[in-house]
Amino acid sequence: MLIIMVLNKNLFGFMNLEKITLYSHNFEKQLSFYKDVLQFSVSNITKDSFDIHTKKTILTYKKSDNPNNFYHFAFLIYDDHFKDALDYVKNKNIPLILDKYTNEEIIAWQVGGESFYFYDEDQNIVT
């Protein structure tokens, strides 16, 4: 389930999500991953939820007993910071998702930019 709270449309036609809520069955591991490993700004930490802050979005994780929640979401990184972001993730020893045919890291050009993919603690695909 993906709950979209507020939507805007930016100049490029992409939707900017100002606040979204996702559900986690590995809640404590997710909190540690985003706060301690990726070092995102995290606030409003309770026993059942926490907020991750990016430049324009608040991503709320809520605790769930349902292991079937699955998400694929992206963080926008501008072209001039792509290599820095990729190096940052690799330096944190976060494995990138491998192509099942070539067994190579998936670093792909997508509509107007480049992407890389990794899993978080709930096995969501983060782009």
Which amino acid, one-letter code, is at 12? F
Res 112: pLDDT: 62
Looking only at the bridges linking them, the beta strands covering 72-73 and 58-63 are unpaired
Question: Cα(12)–Cα(7) distance, rounded to whole angstroms?
Answer: 14
pLDDT at 9: 42
Q: How far apart are CA 107 and CA 35, in angstroms?
A: 24
Better-predicted residue by pLDDT, 76 or 89? 89
> Which CATH entry fits the domain spanning 3-126: 3.40.1590.10, 3.10.180.10, 3.50.50.60, 3.30.1490.20?
3.10.180.10
pLDDT grade for 83, boundaries at 50, 70 and 90 = confident
For residue range 14-63, what is the model confidence (pLDDT) as tens digits? 566 788 899 999 999 999 999 999 999 999 999 999 999 988 889 999 99
Q: Where are the chain's structural domains?
A: 3-126
Entry field: residues in the chain: 127
Collapse the DSSP code of 110 into the 3-class scheme (helix H, G, I; strand E, B; otherwise coil) and give the result. strand
% of the chain at pLDDT higher than 90: 47
Query: Would the pTM of this model clear 0.85, i.e. be above it?
Result: no
pLDDT > 70? residue 11: no
